[in-house]
Amino acid sequence: MRALLFFALALLPASAVLADTPAMVNQGIGSKGYVWNRLTPERAEAVRKKGDVALGQEAYRGCRGCHKQDAFGRVDGIYPRLTGQYASVIIKQLTDIRAGLRLNPKMEPFISFDAITVDEIADIAAFLSQATTIKENGKGPGDQLALGESVYVQKGCVKCHGSRGEGNGEKLYPALAAQHYSYLLREMELIKTMARGNSHPDMVTSLREVSPNDMEAMADFLSRLPDRRQSVAKAPGK
């Protein structure tokens, strides 16, 4: 059924695909038949490509309005920093958005099938994952850091995101360290309420048990961990 639909969409001209873009429909967690990490045809194609950093820097121009020229986003967390995230994670998030798995209406026009190609997704991911900008990110109040760390450990976040928030590129677990505080907090809320769409079910279960105060403490703790490339001698995956 899904294969048929995909085939039908593939036959339509690009403009018709855009008008009928599946990205507007929530096919994510909570919807019938959701499977975490289902390899969409587009993601399979993107990961096969060898991203080109120079072309990626060029294609990134259309993203600067929000994520900024240095791809560090905004310290108030409205736009996340993208620098230093694993290429595999960036590809998953972008192709999940295009597949209607992660909802991100603000960004949709800029990553629609009309705006960028699958090659450009691979190039942009290569560019962002090696971008070296490391500067002061948005942080929380800093008064509950011990609590934040202990909740992070107790709730099993460490299992996937690592004790230093370094994530794991091979397993598609994002790095969280040194991300902007307000963005981390907002994502936790979106994941908890299943509004984000493409979440791992174990993470939703863990976050359900976390109080708003503990969530703030965790986001603060994570925002203050050093960039994964500073704290981990050799990061797993890439």
Kindly list the residues in this chain that would bind ligand HEC in the complex (CB under 6 A): 62-63, 65-67, 79-80, 82, 85, 90, 92-94, 104, 106-107, 110-111, 116, 124, 155-157, 159-161, 172-174, 176, 179, 184, 186-188, 198-200, 202-203, 206-207, 210, 218
Whichever of 110 and 113 has its CB closer to ligand HEC, that residue is 110
Whichever of 114 and 202 has its CB closer to ligand HEC, that residue is 202
> What's the chain's length in residues?
238
Least separation, in Å, of the C-beta of 87 and ligand HEC? 10
Taking a C-beta distance cutoff of 8 angstroms, is the pair 66, 109 a contact?
no
CA atoms within 13 A on the CB side of 158: 12
Whichever of 7 and 188 has its CB closer to ligand HEC, that residue is 188
Give the Å distances, CA to CA, from 143 to 98, 121, 184, 189, 214.
Answer: 39, 39, 17, 21, 12
Rounded CA separation 154/89 (Å): 25
In whole angstroms, how large is the CA radius of gyration of the chain? 18
Least separation, in Å, of the C-beta of 5 and ligand HEC? 22
Give the Å distances, CA to CA, from 156 to 106, 150, 190, 218.
Answer: 31, 10, 19, 12
Whichever of 132 and 211 has its CB closer to ligand HEC, that residue is 211
Least separation, in Å, of the C-beta of 12 and ligand HEC? 22
Least separation, in Å, of the C-beta of 9 and ligand HEC? 21
